[in-house]
Chains A and B, each alone.
Chain A
């Protein structure tokens, strides 16, 4: 009797701690009031708003090491926080304009950051908290994504109209690919076969075949497509058009539009829930986070964020 009570409470503790460990959050960087809004997923309940260094923009989550990273382009900082307690772990001063950010989910959890002003990718080792490498790319690098399995890094160079493919382990450049005008955001399909590039200057999505390293398709999607995301089964991709205030769903095979959903003003970034049923979109002008049900193609809630929500990059866990 006594024994089983202990077993029960132990099980309870274990359950609690494992639930705590997998709490699924969206981290929204609010550039204009220097805060991060944390929403519990999938429902989007606001669980915390914490102050950070000025002008947070980029986000990358490292669940394996319980960390979340933010870039602060104006102050040159990359900051690391505990992804559950939201306590500051460390800061790295890059002396540049750190913008896009991603984490290598294998091994040490190296952090790759684009430097907007110096046309470079910085590599940060979170164990030593130092910049350990500097890789040249082209003008105004914005988004960066990593294929941890194939060991490749993709960088969108906004002012050069190119995407650079780098090796994740050696200072080797695989390719520089010409794109449409002003490539800004990137999405790697989960199978690693395609990279979707949103080009804000002319409203296109360019689709790069990662094997041939060629743009195989270019489609017009709208005005200022600021972000793109791919479904977990690789069959659909989602684009948010800042100039049209909408989210468009595309069939990845036929490249045809499946649905078009109106959003709040100036949508900026999109991520999907871990089960793929919901999309989360920040609306920069209105200071809102929209939750979209991708089954019914409708906005199910619109939540208040801080001022100037950017959430550039992977602001939810895959």
Chain B
């Protein structure tokens, strides 16, 4: 019994070595939950964000987009590389757009997977834009290095949301 126990521990050790860096998403989802008020109509905001394959026209971090089809975009991030997003839902009645990461590149963005939902709601001064999502850090093992851990993922996702929203606000309030 004791022998069996040590054998099992040895097996575990071996297994841990062979798979320290798991791909795809891990066990701990993280959250992005950002909001901005834009002094422009819901229709105006919706018109811009619902154009899924032209995010490069308003997001400062996206330099260009390769359009694979209406549901699939490859976004180019300045000096870093590309990510592929796939559209899940576009609802013109509720002003909701959701998409997911199809092909990750953790050198571009330190996440292994995300789903993002953008929602526009009417408020007194114009529109409220919500940027909400769920994602997983780049290194899904239990000992991720600093640049691939939960904090790195949260910071990158939050920054991408904030920069996009701020740029939209500037763009739409200028009109």
What is the interface of chain A, defined by CB distance below 8 A to chain B?
31, 55, 57, 73-76, 94-97, 99, 116-120, 130-131, 133-134, 140, 158-159, 223-224, 242-244, 265-266, 284-285, 308
Q: 15 A-B residue contacts at CB 8 Å?
A: A95-B16, A97-B141, A116-B26, A117-B142, A118-B16, A120-B15, A131-B8, A133-B8, A159-B23, A159-B24, A224-B88, A243-B98, A243-B115, A266-B134, A308-B29
Question: A119 to B5, alpha carbons, bound, how many Å?
Answer: 19
Contacts of A133 in B (CB 8 A): 8
Task: Kindly list the 10 A-B residue pairs having the minimum CB-CB distance in the complex, ordered from nearest.
Answer: A73-B27, A118-B15, A223-B88, A117-B22, A159-B24, A95-B12, A243-B88, A116-B27, A99-B27, A117-B19
Interface size band for B: 20 to 34
Can you list, as one digit per residue, whether each of B74-116 has a CB less than 8 Å from chain A (1) or not (0)?
A: 0000000000000011000000001010000000000000010
Number of interchain pairs (Cβ within 8 Å)? 79
User: Interface centre among A76, A99, A117, A118, by most B CB within 10 Å?
Assistant: A117
Residue of A nearest to B20 (CB): A117
Q: How far is the CA of A266 from the CA of B98 in the complex (A)?
A: 12
Give the interface SS of chain B, mostly helix, strand, loop or mixed.
mixed
A117/B141 in contact, CB under 8 A:
yes
Residues of A within 8 A of B26 (CB): 73, 97, 116-117
Q: Which of A94, A140, A284 contacts B29 (CB 8 A)?
A: A284
Closest-by-CB residue of A relative to B21 is A117
Encoded as 1 (CB less than 8 Å from any A CB) or 0, chain B from 52 to 92 comes to: 00000000000000000000000000000000000011000
CB-defined contacts of B16 to chain A, threshold 8 Å: 95-96, 117-118
* A97 partner, pick from B33, B98, B142, beta carbons under 8 A: B142
**Do A134 and B12 touch (CB < 8 A)?**
yes
Nearest A residue (CB) for B89: A223
Q: What's the least CB distance linking A269 to chain B, in Å?
A: 13
Which residues of A have CB within 8 Å of B15?
Answer: 96, 118-120
Whole-angstrom CA separation of A74 from B139 in the bound complex: 12
Q: A116-B26, A159-B23 are in contact. Are A130 and B89 (CB under 8 A)?
A: no
Question: What A residues does B117 contact at CB under 8 A?
Answer: 243
What is the interface of chain A mostly: helix, strand, loop, or mixed? loop
Question: In the complex, what's the smallest C-beta–C-beta distance from A260 to chain B, in angstroms?
Answer: 14
Known contacts A265-B132, A285-B132: A118-B19 contact under CB 8 Å? yes
State how many angstroms separate the Cβ of A125 from the closest Cβ of chain B: 11
CB-based contact B27/A57 at 8 Å: yes
Interface residues in B8-36 (C-beta closer than 8 Å to A): 8, 11-13, 15-16, 19, 22-24, 26-29, 31, 33
Interface residue from A94, A244, A284 paired with B134 (Cβ < 8 Å): A284
Is the beta-carbon distance between B24 and A140 smaller than 8 angstroms? yes
Asked if B27 and A244 sit within 8 Å, CB to CB, the answer is no
Q: Which residue of A lies closest to B9 (CB)?
A: A95
CB distance from A288 to the nearest CB of B (A): 14
CB contact under 8 A between A73 and B19, given known A244-B89, A265-B132, A285-B132: no
> In the complex, are the beta carbons of B12 and A74 less than 8 A apart?
no
Contact present for A74 and B28 (CB under 8 Å): yes
A228 to chain B, nearest CB (A): 19
Nearest B residue (CB) for A119: B19
In the complex, which residues of chain B have a beta carbon less than 8 angstroms from the beta carbon of A73? 26-28, 142
Interface string of B125-151 (1 = CB under 8 A from A): 000000010100000111000000000
Chain B residue nearest to A118 (CB atoms) is B15
Q: A103–B2 Cα gap in the complex (Å)?
A: 25
Contact with B12, one of A99, A118, A265, A308 (Cβ below 8 angstroms): A118
Q: How far is the CB of A116 from chain B (nearest CB, A)?
A: 5
A286 to chain B, nearest CB (A): 10
Residue numbers in B under 8 Å from A308 (CB-CB): 29, 31
* Distance between A130 CB and nearest chain B CB, rounded to angstroms: 7
In angstroms, how far is the closest chain A Cβ from the Cβ of B102? 10
**What is the CB-to-nearest-CB distance from A174 to chain B, in angstroms, rounded to a whole number?**
22
Closest B residue, CB atoms, query A312: B27
A131 to B29, CA, bound (A): 27
Q: How far is the CB of B11 from chain A (nearest CB, A)?
A: 6
State the Cβ distance, A33 to closest chain B Cβ, in Å. Answer: 13
A155 to B12, CA, bound (A): 19
Q: Enumerate chain B residues within 8 angstroms of A243, measured Cβ to Cβ.
A: 88-89, 98, 115, 117
Q: How far is the CA of A119 from the CA of B141 in the complex (A)?
A: 13
Report the separation of the CA atoms of residues A243 and B89 in the bound assembly, to the nearest whole angstrom: 9
A74 B115 Cβ-Cβ under 8 A: no
